[in-house]
Structure 1
Amino acid sequence: MDDLSVQVALTCPTCGCTEFAYETPASGQDFTDDWAFTCAHCGRTFTRAELIEANAESIDMTVSDMGDDIVDELAKDLKKALKKQGWKIK
């Protein structure tokens, strides 16, 4: 199956800006839920968890939209596998 990953741009719930200042995690470290992000436009600071919660609707819509793509890719993979086994698939 092809890579079906996507990125959802998080927006500031105050002003709608998509640019944030933050400290980059050290090598081998991941962002934590309490990691601070500051909006580049209005200067408001949020935790990672707060930004994700504020953008939950956009994230959910993206995941929902991906559902069809995932099903389509799985169907293609299944057809290929069945054809390899000698099945006649239309």
Structure 2
Amino acid sequence: MKLNNLDRKISMLCPTCGCKDFNFDEHDENGLVTCTQCERQLTRADLVAENSELIAETQNEIAKEAQKQIEAEMKKMLKNAFKGNKNIKIR
């Protein structure tokens, strides 16, 4: 079973001004992230913690979409399994 289109990109927001643009060193995982608009500096862990509600909301959205895809695939598999049987109907 293959799930389609579950990739998402989450734009982190500055907790001070709501800006989506940050300056950071890509190679330094523990380095500081600086907002380009208000110049607030945070660690990456703090930025993720500040955006945890947005991340959780996106995770729930992905889970719901995956569940719908799995349900549709299971229904299709059941219909195909009992295709020639007159006594069993799948709705």
Task: Indicate whether the TM-score tops 0.5.
Answer: yes
Unaligned ranges ≥5, structure 1? 26-30
> What is the root-mean-square deviation in Å for CA atoms of aligned residues?
2.0
1:22-41 pair list within 5 angstroms: 22-25=24-27, 32=29, 34-41=30-37
Larger Rg: 2
Within the alignment, does 1:70 sit opposite 2:71 as a pair?
A: no
TM-score (norm 1): 0.76
| Paired positions, count | 84
Where does residue 75 of structure 2 map in the other structure?
79
Q: Report the CA distance between 1:86 and its aligned residue.
A: 3.7
Aligned-pair identity in percent equals 31
Unaligned ranges ≥5, structure 2? 84-88
The separation in 2 between residues aligned to 1:50 and 1:67, in whole angstroms, is 25
Where does residue 20 of structure 1 map in the other structure?
22
Q: Higher relative CO (CA 8 A, sep ≥ 6), structure 1 or 2?
A: 1
